[in-house]
């Protein structure tokens, strides 16, 4: 059995009672960063052993861990923050478990893009989540694709690349496209800033940006001059 356990994205109170019980009962917690996860476990008095499972070693250990689980081990998978598998290497282990017939149980819990999307005020009945954009190869192609979507899209971004990303979005989407930047979600200095892309560029360009970023951008509006065939 593999339990996929979401952990708080900031505020340590944002963890379910079930998640705490599972983290206590499993034999091992697989963690993206054992130091970060140890702080969470220590906060709740959980003594379960931790084992590293991160982007630098997942290909080397994923089959070994999946084999242990197939043999009867019961483990939990956590990321540094949020739900494992969303823009992190947890997906590889879950896929290996599914392929080997290991039962995977994913608990509900924190994921950064959901509160950012809802708080943005942009339509969220239909949306596209793209995670982190490619740094180089394929980046411009991806941006042009996103700009043409008729519904809201969501990106993750580093505070060090936010201004660059906003500049690129202004080029492909136009300066007046509605958007929202959410950073430091659930933390003391949480900021959710809905505005146009140009206004967001001016706001964040004038300050030292800190914290992980969720960028929500409205979809392309349909032309008012399109003729509908009856």
Helical residues (DSSP H) of 26-154, grouped into ranges: 34-43, 58-70, 90-99, 113-119, 139-147
Q: State mean pLDDT over 124-132.
A: 96
Mean pLDDT of 115-136: 95
CATH 3.40.366.10 fits 113-217, yes or no: no
Task: Write out the two tokens for 172.
Answer: 């492909």
pTM for the model: 0.89
Check for a shared fold between 2-106 and 113-217.
no
pLDDT exceeds 70 at position 227:
no
The helix (H) or strand (E) run that includes residue 174 is none
Pairing of strands 75-78, 2-4: parallel
Sign of CA dihedral 32, 35, 39, 41: positive
pLDDT, average across residues 92-114: 95
> Tell me: domain 2-106, CATH 3.40.50.2020, correct?
no
Q: How far is CA 196 from the centre of its chain?
A: 23
Where exactly are the structural domains of the chain? 2-106, 113-217
Asked whether residue 161 carries a pLDDT value surpassing 50, the answer given is yes
Report how far residue 54's alpha carbon sits from residue 32's, in angstroms, rounded to the nearest whole number: 5
């Amino acid at each position: 059995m593999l339990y996929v356990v979401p952990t708080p994205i900031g505020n340590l109170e944002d963890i379910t009672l079930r998640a705490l019980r599972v983290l206590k009962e499993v034999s091992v917690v697989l963690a993206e960063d054992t130091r970060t996860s140890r702080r969470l476990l220590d906060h709740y008095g959980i003594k379960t052993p931790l084992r590293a499972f991160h982007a630098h070693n997942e290909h080397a250990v994923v089959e070994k861990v999946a084999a242990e689980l197939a043999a009867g081990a019961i483990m939990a998978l956590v990321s540094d923050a949020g739900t494992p598998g969303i823009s992190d290497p947890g997906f590889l282990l879950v896929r290996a478990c599914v392929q080997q017939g290991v039962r995977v149980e994913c608990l509900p819990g924190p994921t950064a893009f959901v509160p950012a999307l809802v708080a943005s005020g942009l339509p969220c009945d239909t949306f596209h989540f793209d995670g982190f954009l490619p740094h180089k190869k394929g980046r411009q192609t991806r941006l042009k694709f996103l700009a043409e979507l008729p519904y809201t899209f969501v990106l993750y971004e580093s505070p060090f690349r936010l201004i660059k990303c906003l500049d690129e979005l202004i080029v492909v989407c136009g300066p007046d496209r509605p958007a929202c930047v959410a950073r430091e979600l659930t933390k003391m200095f949480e900021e959710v800033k809905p505005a146009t892309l140009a206004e967001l560029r001016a706001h964040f360009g004038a300050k030292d940006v800190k914290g992980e970023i969720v960028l929500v951008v409205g979809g392309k509006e349909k032309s008012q001059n399109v003729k509908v065939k009856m």
